[in-house]
């Protein structure tokens, strides 16, 4: 599938399936590559870099990283990959999370003629997300399993290494509901920013299998 240059932002609550949709899009659209802020931060923390040290302190305190810090992290990565140009195609997973981050990112991209040209919100009911989270188990590599629809071959063991899986400390309904409430509060001004830019859209569904065909069709219509 060959499409016009597409620069996509995926919005969605924690647990909405942004990572799953990103993986599927990368397989379906060969010209597309992605940047995950979660992966960038995990790599920096693992390297024990200065960026990683700052990030780990905020994460340990349960705080969001400063907008300017995150914007610089992403734009530096875009620059290193030579994606700050009008012919580049990329997908941002997990960024921006606030309107302020979106403004800072937009300023950098606009000056390089690499504006975001599609923002898609993955609209999944909070009740569905909370059910997913209670069944989510992870491996230290970042591989994620769900006991209901993507279980490990051996219960509570990683498929690749056989090492034990674990649940993240905040993957419980009470703590996660606080994260969801915070997300939706931040989402309103972020959506408005992209609605005014004329690039916002939304796909709804209870599962990734329902959402993905809608998402792919939307992209085909916009960029064929």
Q: b/e string for 110-136 if b means 16 or more Cβ within 10 A?
A: eeeebebbbbbbbebebeebbbbbbeb
> Residue 188: is its pLDDT beyond 90?
yes
Flag whether pLDDT at 157 surpasses 70. yes
37 is in an annotated binding site: yes
> Does residue 134 lie in a domain region?
no
* Least confident span in 66-75, 169-178, 211-220: 169-178
- 168 annotated as belonging to a binding site for a ligand: yes
Please report whether residue 177 resides in a domain: no
Q: Is residue 178 part of a domain?
A: no
Judge whether 10 and 122 are in contact, CB under 8 Å: yes
pLDDT at 121: 96
The domain that holds 63 is classified in CATH as: 3.40.50.300
Q: What is the pLDDT of residue 193?
A: 97
Per the listing, tokens 């802020």 go with 37
Residue 130 belongs to a domain: no
Q: How many domains does the chain have?
A: 1
Domain holding 114, by residue range, is 7-124+187-223
Cα(121)–Cα(103) distance, integer angstroms: 18
C-alpha span between 128 and 15 (Å, rounded) = 9
95 is in an annotated binding site: yes
Q: List, by residue number, the catalytic residues.
A: 18, 97, 136, 168, 179
**Does residue 56 sit within a domain?**
yes
pLDDT for residue 1 = 67
Query: Would the annotation count 13 as a binding residue?
Result: no
pLDDT tens track for 127-150:
898 888 888 899 998 888 988 888
Of the pLDDT bands very low, low, confident and very high (cuts 50, 70, 90), residue 44 is confident
The answer to the question of residue 78 being in a domain is yes
Q: Is the pLDDT of residue 124 over 70?
A: yes
Whether residue 169 is annotated as binding a ligand: the answer is no
Read off the pTM: 0.83
- Please report whether residue 37 resides in a domain: yes
**Mean pLDDT over residues 199-223, rounded?**
95
């Amino acid at each position: 599938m060959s499409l016009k240059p597409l620069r996509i932002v995926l919005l969605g609550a924690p647990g909405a399936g942004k990572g799953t949709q990103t993986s599927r899009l990368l397989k379906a659209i060969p010209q597309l590559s992605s940047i995950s802020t979660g992966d960038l931060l995990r790599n920096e923390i693992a390297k024990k870099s200065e960026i990683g040290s700052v990030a780990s302190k905020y994460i340990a305190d349960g705080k969001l990283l400063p907008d300017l810090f995150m914007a610089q992290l992403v734009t530096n990565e875009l620059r290193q990959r030579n994606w700050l140009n009008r012919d580049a195609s990329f997908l941002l997973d997990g960024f921006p999370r606030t309107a302020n981050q979106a403004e800072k990112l937009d300023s950098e991209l606009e000056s390089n003629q690499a504006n975001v040209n599609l923002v898609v919100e993955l609209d999944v009911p909070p009740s569905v997300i909370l059910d997913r989270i209670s069944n989510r188990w992870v491996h230290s590599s970042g591989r994620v399993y769900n006991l209901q629809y993507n279980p490990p071959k051996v219960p509570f063991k990683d498929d690749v290494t056989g090492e034990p899986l674990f649940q993240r400390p905040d993957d419980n309904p009470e703590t996660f509901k606080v994260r969801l409430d915070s997300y939706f509060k931040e989402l309103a001004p972020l959506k408005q920013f992209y609605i005014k830019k004329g690039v916002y859209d939304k796909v709804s569904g209870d599962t990734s299998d329902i959402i993905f065909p809608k998402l792919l069709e939307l992209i085909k219509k916009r960029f064929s």
